Amino acid sequence: MDETGDDILASMVPVAMWDFDHCDPRKCSGKKLARMNLMEELRVGQRFQGIVMSPKGKDVVSPADKDIVAAAGVAVVECSWARLDEIPFNKIRSPHERILPYLVAANPVNYGKPYKLTCAEAIAAALYITGFDSQAEVLLSKFSWGHSFWEVNGPIIERYRTCTTPESVLAMQEVMIREMEHEQSERHRAKKEEEESGDLLYANPNHAGGAWRPHHSDDDDDGSDEGRFSAEEETVEEDFEVDALGNRIEKTAL
């Protein structure tokens, strides 16, 4: 049975962030969700008992975190990785600090780049991996590009959801990265072969099909039919004459 809007709101888990104002508040995805009352802004020193997506995390988020998320939610540390030395991590500790496994950004600034997720994408990813799809979709729906996140990462997340521990998520991550590297290598190889094959086909007119036309080297032959006539036409014209009445008649043999 599909969930109604009220069902989704009633089943939503807490979502929060510590924001250190390292990005433009007009463009910050977390700030936007906070303005819509879909994310709580935490104070420095305030505790959060759910999982926290943090640069200091050691374990990747996994389906094993589902009970923690159900009980206490997901939070994120909104900061620049280039300014981590400014963050008082000792004042925002959590018993469940996590990092994300391999995922690809769908936001327009970093589209297609691994790991370059906004805080909204990070929260949604954690919710997807732990099985809270409806809430992830609600959060992403507030962004014009939000639908792209699942389109880009859905197959990856589905494979993470087959895992049961952080270790198995990491193992799956390595498998997928090797697969992607192999696919990329195969594409490059195929492209190179196609380019080399294209050069050979261009050089060999026997393989060019209808695209190839013979080249005549005769200086007086430009390949056109202009000014041409057949020997048959010439012969026919010589075998006739015009009589005194203007009629065209066959010549009489002498």
Question: Is 109 assigned to a binding site?
Answer: no
Non-local (6+) Cβ contacts of 191 within 8 A are none
Closest CA to 44 of 24, 21, 60, 65: 21
Return the CA Rg of the chain: 36
Non-local (6+) Cβ contacts of 246 within 8 A are none
Question: Is 102 assigned to a binding site?
Answer: no
Question: Is 74 assigned to a binding site?
Answer: no
Question: Is 128 assigned to a binding site?
Answer: no
Torsion of CA 37, 32, 16, 134, to 10 degrees: 70
The residues with which 205 forms a beta bridge, in sequence order, are none
The residues with which 242 forms a beta bridge, in sequence order, are 248
CA 62 to chain centre: 23
CA–CA distance, 124 with 108 (Å, rounded to integer)? 16
Angle at alpha carbon of residue 34, lines to 54 and 157, rounded to 5° = 50
Which residues are known binding-site members for S-adenosyl-L-methionine?
A: 29, 77, 100, 115
Which residues are known binding-site members?
A: 29, 77, 100, 115
